[in-house]
Structures are given as C-alpha cells and as structure tokens.
Structure 1
Amino acid sequence: MSQATHDDVVDKYPATLRILHWLRALLILGLIGAGWTMTSLDDETAAKFEQLYPLHKSFGVLVFLVVLIQLGIRATSRLPGPAELPAQERVLSHVVHVAIYALLLIVPLMGYAMSSSFTQSDGVTFFGIHLPELLPKNDDWFRVFQFLHKTLAYTLLALVGLHVLGALKHRFFDRNPKADVLPRML
C-alpha cells in the first residue's frame, strides 16, 4: 500500500457539490414550508391547486434531478476523507447521509406516484412541461402514496435536523478541531 501524498488529500468538497448542497437545502426547506401551507389551505382557495401544488411538484422534480446530479458528481470526484470522529459518530453520520440521499429520491417519487394515481389529478408538470403518468388512476393507491410521501418527508426533515445538529456539535462542542466538518461544505 502506498502512502497518500499531500496532493491526494482533499479538505473541501468540490465547489459544484457545495453549491448543490446548499441549493438542495433551500429547496427542501421551501418544499416542506409549501407542503405545510398548501395542505392547510381550504380546497376553495384557488391558489392552492392553480399555483402551490404545481410549484411544489415542479420543485420536487427539481430536487430529484439535483440529487441525481450530485450523486453523479460524487461518484466521479475526489472527496474529503472521513472526519476525525469517534467510531459510533462516524457510523451514525454515514447512516444519516445515506438515509438522507435515499429519502431525497424516494420522497419525490412518492409525490409523483401520489399525483399520478389520484383520479382528480392532472398529473405532474415540471415548470409547465407535462411529465408522463406511469401509474393508473387508483384512489386506494393514492392514499398509500400520500401516506408514504408525508411520512417519509417528515422522516427526511428529522434526519436533516439531526444532520444540522451534528454539524453544529462538531463545530462548537467537540474538542478535536479536525472533527469540524462545516468548513468542508463552505
């Protein structure tokens, strides 16, 4: 085994991944806020179905695409090595990251399936471009997808909260400065 040279060590994520990370964070917070807003409005509110739902769907598709791009960039880029964390924190960090990425793909897919299967839905548009509906209309399946979309979105929110708390803990409470992961993403 050869020893890593200084040139092999990367201390920050590539700029494209850093930008996409923060863009994705803003999109997720916006989608959750929009989801809360639109589901709390009366069905008689025209903006609910004419503006909020279509925008929520479009931004959900955008998040899905951003995550696919991020995964492609991650697969082809040099990334920083693991932070100097205790073993159990390193494992928890890895599990949380994998779960976040999985949910960032699954939650939009459940939203798409929900919209595609609802008998009163006209499907999903991506900023005005109508996407194909791949599922038959079936309100029983709609309710399953609706439950999964909502439950998994809240699970994603909880994991994002854990992710943020972990970064803050490493930044402000750990005694090892090499445990501070935030500069790698700034």
Structure 2
Amino acid sequence: MSLHWAMSACYLVLFITGTSMVRLPGELFIRGPLYDFHKSVAVLTMALLTWRILTLLQVWWKKYTKRLPKFTKEWYKNFALHATLYVFMWLVPVAGFLLSNSYKTNNVKFFGILLPDMFPQNSAMIDVGKSLHFWLAYTFLAFVILHILAEKKVVRANWRRLTNFVRTKFPKSQKVG
C-alpha cells in the first residue's frame, strides 16, 4: 500500500503542476523549470507504475494459483475500475511524452538527466498530443474520483486515522487567563 500512496502523491503533484504551468505566461521564468519538474515526476511515476505492476503480478500469481477468485458482479466491477485506472496511469504520461517530443527532440529529462525520445519530433502531432494529454488526464481524474467513491470505507478509516494522529500530535493549545 505504500507504493499506492507514493504513486497517489505523484499523480496529485502531476495534476497540480500540469494545470498550473499551462496557465502561466510563456515569458515567466518559473514556467520552464516547472515543466522540467512535471516531466521528471512523470518519468518517476512511470518507473513506480512498472514496479507496481510487476509486484501486483507476483501477488496475483501467488494468490490465484492457490485459489481462483469468486467471479461475482462486484469482482468484475472492481477489476474493470482498477484495470481502467492502470490504463490511464500509463496513457496520460505517454501522451505527455508524445506532446513533449513533438515540440523538439531531447527535451524530457529526469531531474536533469536527458532521456532518449520515445517519439520523433513532429510539429503536426503537437495538437494531437495536447488534446490527448488534456482529455486523458481529466478522464483519469474522473476515474480516480470513482475509485475514491468506491473505496469510501477505506477513505473514511484513513481520514479518522489521520485526524486522530493530528489531534494527538498537535493538541489544541489551552488558553491562559
């Protein structure tokens, strides 16, 4: 689950930086470094996604070779939602790399380390890349919200744990006087 939360944090950072940086004026100094940071976090997230998929496949292999799941309507619904989330976790960054590589070659870096291009430079693909990255990102966000709603018991339990932790570590200061 720690990998789940690390990836959740990465995707939150990606969504916040992505929606923020495109609204900044082009001549603003921070815009370029923000794009580089956004791309670096995307590369990190793709590495974490690969690790997570490999780990998940190992867990499934151990679990389902012993006993197959009960293929209920709820199981299929849960599987479909998670499979869709994984597809979007992969597609959104790939569309971002398409967009980035379409502008110019060698512009995706991982915290300063230049990475090879996934796609050739092609100015005709810039608009396609922009549209894909935008719509896939917001559709992914919609599925993340569906995931949160589907896991409302877990969300409530985690919220209770967090608020109890905050209350015990940071109790209200008592008024003097």
Q: The TM-score by the shorter chain falls in which range? A: 0.7 to 0.9
Letter in 2 for 1:139: S
Letter in 1 for 2:46: F
Pick from 86, 108, 128 the counterpart of residue 93 of structure 2. 108
The separation in 1 between residues aligned to 2:12 and 2:69, in whole angstroms, is 26
Q: How does 1:1-186 map to 2 (within 5 A)?
A: 18-49=1-32, 51-77=33-59, 78=62, 87-119=72-104, 122-168=106-152
User: Contact between 2:106 and 2:115, CA under 8 Å: does it hold in 1?
Assistant: no
TM-score (normalised: structure 1): 0.74
Q: Which has the higher contact order (CA 8 A, sep 6+)?
A: 1
Number of equivalenced pairs: 154
SS in 2 for 1:133: coil
Letter in 2 for 1:101: Y
What is the deviation of 1:113? 1.1
CA change 1:62–1:82 in 2 (3 A) is farther
SS in 1 for 2:22: helix
What is the deviation of 1:171? 7.2
Deviates more, 1:130-139 or 1:61-70: 130-139
Extract unaligned runs of 5+ from structure 2: 159-177
The separation in 1 between residues aligned to 2:15 and 2:30, in whole angstroms, is 17
Extract unaligned runs of 5+ from structure 1: 1-17, 173-179
CA RMSD of aligned residues (A): 2.7
SS in 2 for 1:46: coil
Letter in 1 for 2:117: E
CA change 1:79–1:162 in 2 (3 A) is farther
Q: Which has the higher helix share?
A: 2
The separation in 1 between residues aligned to 2:73 and 2:147, in whole angstroms, is 15
